[in-house]
């Protein structure tokens, strides 16, 4: 995570209470840092401690990794992979349809079951509702920002993300064009 103010200011009700402490686990690299031309280097991979409430179903799955951590990895410019404590995994896909409209697809799953979890649909539904709440917080701010954009607007800057986003776009375009050198 390069923007350490994002969670406290955008998600104070949903995500902030789950953080164990405010940590800076990302790489706040200089504005013009060179990022290798590989997708894995472009992924913004990050992790942070997370308060995960214990539930009986946790013992019914093969947890991935150890510890209560939130892992976040960008797979493509519009696809995000998240692991919540190695218990729940989420793939988020954002497909822009128009400047003011985005199709969002969530794919949610738990770690591999050791035995059948009868309440699995309810568990996944609860996690999905939480993810949708977080999404709506993001959308509210993004739509407010976008509402003020027009042809005469100054160039948009992404702060600490600017160079990384430009680098990702360059590498992604190279791969789409078939340039693997």
Q: What is the pTM of this model?
A: 0.76
Q: How far apart are the first and last CA of the chain?
A: 29
More confident residue, 148 or 79: 79
Q: CA-to-CA distance for 133 and 113, rounded, in angstroms?
A: 27
| C-alpha to C-alpha distance for 108 and 70, rounded to whole angstroms | 15
Q: Percent of the chain having pLDDT more than 90?
A: 34
Of residues 41 and 88, which shows the higher confidence score?
88
**Angle (nearest 5°) at CA 91 between 87 and 93:** 165
Return the pLDDT at 88. Answer: 97
- Taking the C-alpha atoms of residue 44 and residue 172, their distance in angstroms, rounded to an integer, is 14
pLDDT over threshold 80, residue 143: no
């Amino acid at each position: 995570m390069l923007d350490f103010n994002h969670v406290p200011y955008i998600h104070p009700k949903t995500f902030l209470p789950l953080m164990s402490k405010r940590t800076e686990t990302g790489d706040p690299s200089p504005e013009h840092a060179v990022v290798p031309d590989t997708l894995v280097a472009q992924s913004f991979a990050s992790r942070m401690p997370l308060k995960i409430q214990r539930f009986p179903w946790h013992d019914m799955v093969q947890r991935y990794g150890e510890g209560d951590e939130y892992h976040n990895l960008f797979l493509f410019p519009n696809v995000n992979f998240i692991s919540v404590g190695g218990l729940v995994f989420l793939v988020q896909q954002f497909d822009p349809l128009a400047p003011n409209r985005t199709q969002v697809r969530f794919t949610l799953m738990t770690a591999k079951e050791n035995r059948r979890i009868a309440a699995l649909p309810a568990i996944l539904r609860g996690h999905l509702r939480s993810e949708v709440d977080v999404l709506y917080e993001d959308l509210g701010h993004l739509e407010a920002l976008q509402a003020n954009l027009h042809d005469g607007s100054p160039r948009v800057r992404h702060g600490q993300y600017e160079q990384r986003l430009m680098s990702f776009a360059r590498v992604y375009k190279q791969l789409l064009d078939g340039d693997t050198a």
